Amino acid sequence: MDTKILEQHFTQHFGSCEGGAVYMAPGRVNLIGEHTDYNGGFVFPGAVQQGIMAVVRPNGSGQVRLWAMDLQKGCTFDIDNAEGPKETHFRYVYGVVREMLEKGVMVKGFDAVYAGDVPLGAGMSSSAALESCFAYALNDLFAGGLDRMTMARVGQATEHKYVGTMCGIMDQFISMHGREGSLVRLDCRSGEFEYFPWHPKGYRLVLVNSCVKHELVGSPYNDRRRSCERVAQLAGVETLRDCTWEMLDGLTSQISGEDYLRARYVLGEYDRVMAVCDALQRDDYETVGQQMYLTHEGLSKDYEVSCEEIDFLVEVARSCGVTGSRIMGGGFGGCTINLVKDECHDQFVAEVQRSYKERFGVECKIIPVVIGEGARKLKVEN
């Protein structure tokens, strides 16, 4: 993204950028640990170079004025408006404003122009990038003094209270805490985290966007969460993080077959995340890839959040000798994440593009992944 284009649009809509600044927050990939965050488990994400960028400037009023470049739409709302805009896209920013106020940050009116290069609907958390960008900007411009984890929880609360997606903390966490050249193992229950170097010599991370768009609000995403909560309650634990295989097997007569499969996936994913951590300590990327394939099998068969197009992409990856491949994100479309050896990269890209177009009549999109930094200020306007 080009800051100059953003600044030009800001000047066109709101006048001089003086007194404002440019902020950026990234989207993310998650190597392994899917649908574990709201179950109190572990995830293994990394921030990417793609994200949301915004020019934000206090305007001295009680109004927020927004211009979304990608949508070519604007929105204005009062800071003290208890209802906020109705359009979901603008409710992300509205929710961040309201949550920052609840945290004691003295947010005043501001103008903002923003745009992004995170593919929408691809499971790279464009919404978390948007929330994190504005949380970081408002914390900076209005001297909020909030730490990064608190700002991540502002974004999560926005999803819960203003959009209706009962997401976990992973997406907002990594958008805030990302570090170039590192992945992070996050304990979603305690908030503790550890950085792991990510410099896999001879391998690349590649996303393949199926161009099947998902909608998580009011969707089967929330149904999966309720399944997990029912099993945890019957097991007498707070979340499935504390449910053992023995406890789960003891509940088979009390839960539905569907709830059993959902829980079986979550318990298995905990084991797979730990296996990947051990493998990375040994630079054993073959084991990492094997665990990725196992995760996809669980997400497709037990958790049932895949789709025909995504399953096809994973099978093409396997046939091309790709080390690891799985669906990434909330599911029901989006991207596969692939751990690809350098020597088979070009052949894999060519084959997946050819065969996907032949099978489904649409072109998939290849997205190279470079692990980057978390939310930050890019530029101060004089």
Catalytic residues: 171
Q: Which of 277, 291, 271, 373 is nearest to 339 (CA)?
A: 291
Cβ neighbors of 23 (< 8 A, separation 6 or more) are 53, 54, 56, 133, 134, 136, 137, 140, 375, 376, 377, 378
Q: Which of 63, 31, 57 is nearest to 44 (CA)?
A: 31
Cα–chain center distance at 372: 14
CA distance 301 to 39: 19
Type and span of the H or E element at 112: strand 110-116
**Going along 44-123, which residue ranges are E strands?**
45-58, 63-68, 73-78, 110-116
Largest CA distance in the chain: 68
N- to C-terminal Cα separation, the chain:
21
